[in-house]
Copies of this chain bind each other. A is one copy, B any other.
Amino acid sequence: MAIPTKKPDKKRRISESTIHRLSLYYRALTLLEKENYETVSSKELARREKLTPAQVRKDLSFFGSFGTRGLGYPVNELKNKIASILGIDRTWRVALVGVGNIGSALVSYKEFMKQGFQIVKLFDNDQRKIGSNHKGIIVSDINNLEKELKEAGIELVILAVPATVAQYIVDNVVKAGVKAILNFAPVNLRVPDDVYLRNENMSMELEYLSFALVNNLSQKRVNEG
Question: Would B208 and A20 count as touching, CB distance under 8 A?
Answer: yes
Q: How many A residues, CB 8 Å from partner?
A: 69
Q: What separation, in Å, do the CA atoms of A16 and B225 have in the docked complex?
A: 12
- Which residues of A178-225 are within 8 A (CB) of B? 179-182, 186-188, 193, 196-215, 217, 219-225
Chain B residue contacts of A199, Cβ below 8 A: 205, 222-225
* Selected contact of A207 from candidates B88, B201, B212, CB within 8 Å: B88
So how many copies of this chain end up in the complex?
A: 2
Distance (whole angstroms) from the CB of A131 to the closest CB of chain B: 22
Of all chain B residues, the one with the shortest Cβ separation from A103 is B105
Chain B residue contacts of A66, Cβ below 8 A: none
Which of A70-78, A108-116, A140-148, A169-177 forms part of the interface with chain B? A108-116
Given contacts A87-B214, A105-B104, A109-B101, contact A225 B204 (CB under 8 A): yes
Q: What separation, in Å, do the CA atoms of A204 and B12 have in the docked complex?
A: 22
Q: What separation, in Å, do the CA atoms of A200 and B171 have in the docked complex?
A: 27
Chain B residue contacts of A23, Cβ below 8 A: 201, 203-204, 207-208
Question: Would A225 and B225 count as touching, CB distance under 8 A?
Answer: yes
Q: What separation, in Å, do the CA atoms of A212 and B87 have in the docked complex?
A: 9
Residue among A92, A155, A225 having the largest count of chain B Cβ atoms under 10 Å: A225
Question: Would A115 and B85 count as touching, CB distance under 8 A?
Answer: no
Q: What separation, in Å, do the CA atoms of A187 and B28 have in the docked complex?
A: 9
- List 8 extra interface pairs beyond A26-B207, A181-B209, CB under 8 A: A16-B223, A85-B211, A86-B207, A101-B105, A116-B210, A156-B210, A197-B222, A204-B224
26 contacts between A and B (CB under 8 A): A13-B219, A16-B221, A20-B204, A23-B204, A24-B188, A27-B187, A28-B188, A50-B188, A86-B210, A101-B109, A102-B109, A104-B105, A106-B202, A112-B202, A112-B206, A117-B210, A179-B213, A180-B209, A182-B209, A193-B220, A196-B217, A197-B220, A197-B222, A198-B223, A199-B223, A201-B225
